[in-house]
A = this chain, B = another copy of it.
Amino acid sequence: MAVRRRPAAAAAGDLPPQAPPADAAPTPAPDELVLRPPNLRVAAVAAVLFLAPFSYLSFVRYRLGADLQRSILKCGAMSLIGFCVALKLIPVAASYHLRRRMFGYDINKKGLPTGQIKVPEALGLVVGIIYLVIAIIFQQFHYAPDSIWLVEYNAALASVCFMILLGFVDDVLDVPWRVKLALPTFAALPLLMAYAGGTSIIIPKPLTPYVGLTVLELGLFYKLFMLLLAVFCTNSINIHAGLNGLEVGQTIVISAAVLIHNVMRIASSTDIETQQAHEFSIYLVLPFLTISLALLAFNWYPSIVFVGDTYTYFAGMALAVIGILGHFSETLLLFFLPQVLNFLCSVPQLFHFVPCPRHRLPRFDPETGLLTGTKDGNLVNIFLRLFGKCSEKALCIRLLIFQALCCVFCFWLRYMLTGWYK
């Protein structure tokens, strides 16, 4: 009923970067788009790899309490429904995105026919919205309206939703870089405002003689730390990107690690509040991981859809929120080790100490189909320089294995140092 007439959505002049030869078959109009089917095998393999350890720990190894198990099953069932809905909706949304010219060309396939396909962009939107709906409905089943957890739960929802909104705005409008950096600050506000947990840190035992304290009350500085963590998580996932499946893959690995950490802490802790915090985390991570698997089925090499800043921002904020409200932000930072390294390598270019091109991607050779590392400072290129040329898919898998190894290292470190360090 609006007072406007839309300009034709798919205008003429939508040529791929390198126009096809005149005698080529005409490409179908975007409206007739038929996406290739999603790669369900990858989703299934990833589901087994990343959900099996959590299920084993919850139901076999530690035999969590019956109430908690029931809640996890409820949450899991809702997540599964979300997974199916996402599989169904992503192709529908993809055709809408194409029609509104929200697409990109895959730079890592430039020179190949597949490099001329319009890949719909910003499909993280679909999983973000489904995630919100699952998280909201789960609330009804689990938290009484007077639960103290509900303040934080709703604050978490508000933060994640705000971040999805800003991410989608960024995808649609291409916000300038300096504004981009500030967006998570706004989105994190509801969370910071609602945070009612402790604001003190425990001084590591070896340092207590020097500091003269066992617990340091940080007050407002703790909130500043949380804000920086949220800004870091969102931006660091956003810049550790550029390969098919890498954005979604890394968040799936981190989520799986978070789930395992939660279960182990619930089993090993006797403090009821710690247990509740980790339960809270499970209910937020499990649906996040599951719907990300649906996105992975479309985004795995060769990508049928791109996830967009909508997804990377959404994922970063969701994980930050979960780490903060679950009271394990230090551990979360260890899970983010590759992102920390990638960020550190990127600093000289991001802050323009050395020149920074528009994209810092490897060079693709259409003859061999292999990627070669450039001198740009990020993990993608460093891996190529260290371990030699390889295909995009192989590189993505190597980076995901590195992510998983960092999580394993974090577990080792945490459980080796317990008692001695804290």
Contacts and interface: CB of A to CB of B under 8 A. Distances in A.
This chain: copies in complex:
2
Contacts of A3: 104, 106-108, 241-244, 306, 359, 361
A22 interface: no
Contacts of A96: 173-175
A74 interface: no
Contacts of A140: 193
A196 to B, nearest CB: 4
A242 B230 CA distance: 41
Interface residues of A, number: 75
Given A2-B242, A193-B136, A7 B103 contact: yes
B174 A172 contact: no
A338 to B, nearest CB: 15
B162 A132 contact: yes
A150 B11 contact: no
A174 B97 CA distance: 10
A133 B164 contact: no
A1 B104 contact: no
A11 B8 CA distance: 12
A327 interface: no
B5 A105 contact: yes
B169 A169 contact: no
Interface stretch (A12-20, A208-216, A286-294): A12-20
A139 interface: yes
A169 to B, nearest CB: 7
Contacts of A102: 172
A236 to B, nearest CB: 11
Contact of A2 (B1, B173, B190, B308): B308
A145 interface: yes
19 contacts: A2-B308, A3-B106, A3-B243, A3-B306, A3-B359, A4-B107, A5-B104, A6-B104, A100-B172, A102-B172, A145-B193, A150-B194, A154-B155, A154-B157, A154-B190, A154-B194, A157-B190, A158-B161, A168-B172
